[in-house]
Structure 1
Amino acid sequence: MMTNLFSIFDPSTSMLNMSLNWFSTILGLFLIPPMFWLIPSRQIILWNKMLNNLHKEFKMLIGNMKINKGSSLIFISLFSIIMFNNFLGLFPYLFTSTSHMVMTLSISLPMWLSFMLFGWINNTQHMFTHLVPQGTPPILMPFMVCIETISNIIRPGTLAVRLAANMIAGHLLITLLGNTGPALNSIMLIMLITTQIALLTLESAVSIIQSYVFAVLSTLYSSEVN
């Protein structure tokens, strides 16, 4: 029984005192591998084409590939993991791990900390120059340092909240509309099903867009510390 509006996003489903909702994050290990034995399958060709395009874009955003050689693969993996978990949440009775702050903060916070440690240890002067944008009047410099410092500190939180909020919003709307189904007549039920299909299509696009935004912003944050 749903005790409150957001209880569907609470990872409380358990069996033998073990949470089952988080099992969805490793479900891909049981679903994906069989298709990789078929070479070349259409899925592999499409997936490789998408990864190549992402590699070219991330490589351009990171820049200076002599130092950051292979760094784009990290962000491609990040994109793949988030997109996969976003799509899993569209299936009935599967918990969306990326709608929970535990998952999103576990991705964004260590990554941001590693960027900061690398930047302040290896490029200290470069990190200080980022605190004062070029062309800032001297009288505004103390305020700009405070603003840039705060905006830098809240970056992992904004990444995590953006992803979780977008996943929760669409899934919550689909759930609320779906709960009204038994009380509707035939005509309204047809309209509801049409609306649900449209929302599922929109959520599929959001799943890709949000994983792309998360990966691109992470790439831009990493490029600032070099």
Structure 2
Amino acid sequence: MMASLFSIFDPSSSLFAFPLNWISTFMGLLFLPMVFWAAPSRWTHLWTKILETLHKELKSLLSASHLGTTLLFLSLFSLIVFNNSLGLLPYIFTSSSHLAMTLSLSLPIWLTLMLYGWMNHTQHMFAHLVPQGTPSVLMPFMVVIETISNMIRPGTLAVRLAANMIAGHLLLTLLSQTGPQIAASSTLLTILISSQILLLILESAVAVIQSYVFTVLSTLYMGEIN
């Protein structure tokens, strides 16, 4: 019996008092060597095609002086999508559903971009605080609004990713807990299993979409400091 509905996200696996849950974060690295020594498969070609398409899109959002950073954002996309997808498998800890994980990704990126922008493009960063065409009376308010919206960016990135992962897992957990109560009815059990399969397919799509959104928004934030 769970003490709380959210206790399904509590870390629980350990070995000699050493927590093993966060090891799942690096399980995606196990798939990388296969690309170099194994024969290319259809999955490899599909993943390569996805990365090439994403690279072209990110390249169009950045200036020519920052095109090399697409490798960073492609690695970020791969890390998040691996964690989101592995979290859908049974008995695997979903690290991307915790703010400790998502904030550790969004906060360093935002802080680095802010330091780089204010140190190298100070006037440009000040100009971003007042949108073009703003009346003089509203300029002080726009500076406050733009400053607040800029400061909450890492939080919105982290909460968006974690909340979407938590929501899907909660729905799957709630549906699975109703199974023993309706086991006597084959019709209801069939509906329950079908709905869980559809929800799992939806969660698989959400895992990729949220990784894409996190990566593209991070790239857009970098494009603003040019």
Question: What TM-score, normalized by structure 2, do the two folds share?
Answer: 0.96
Question: Which of 77, 97, 100 does residue 95 from structure 2 map onto?
Answer: 97
Partner Cα distance (2:61, 2:31) in 1: 32
Letter in 1 for 2:179: G
Question: Which of 171, 174, 181 does residue 172 from structure 2 map onto?
Answer: 174
Question: Which of 129, 135, 138 does residue 137 from structure 1 map onto?
Answer: 135
Pairs within 5 Å for 1:208-223: 208-223=208-223
1:76-101 Cα shifts (integer Å, max 9, x gaps): 11111001100011111111100000
Comparing 21-30 with 78-87, greater Cα deviation is found at 21-30
Letter in 1 for 2:222: S
C-alpha change, 1:69 and 1:61, in structure 2 (3 Å) is closer
Question: Given that residues 28 and 79 in structure 2 are in contact (C-alpha distance below 8 angstroms), is that contact kept between their aligned partners in structure 1?
Answer: no
Deviation at 1:32, TM superposition (A): 4.5
Partner Cα distance (1:150, 1:44) in 2: 42
Letter in 2 for 1:123: H
Task: Point out where structure 2 has 5 or more consecutive residues left out of the alignment.
Answer: none
Partner Cα distance (2:8, 2:218) in 1: 29
User: Aligned-pair RMSD on alpha carbons?
Assistant: 1.2
Question: What TM-score, normalized by structure 1, do the two folds share?
Answer: 0.96
Task: Point out where structure 1 has 5 or more consecutive residues left out of the alignment.
Answer: none
Deviation at 1:73, TM superposition (A): 1.0
Comparing 15-24 with 208-217, greater Cα deviation is found at 15-24
- What's 2:154 paired with? 156
Residue 204 of structure 2 is aligned to residue 204 of structure 1: yes
Residue 66 of structure 2 is aligned to residue 77 of structure 1: no
Residue 109 of structure 2 is aligned to residue 111 of structure 1: yes
Question: Given that residues 36 and 44 in structure 1 are in contact (C-alpha distance below 8 angstroms), is that contact kept between their aligned partners in structure 2?
Answer: no
Partner Cα distance (2:163, 2:179) in 1: 25
Displaced runs of 4 or more, over 6 A: none
Deviation at 1:2, TM superposition (A): 1.7
Deviation at 1:116, TM superposition (A): 0.1
Corresponding pairs, count: 224
Deviation at 1:3, TM superposition (A): 1.3
Pairs within 5 Å for 1:37-56: 37-56=37-56
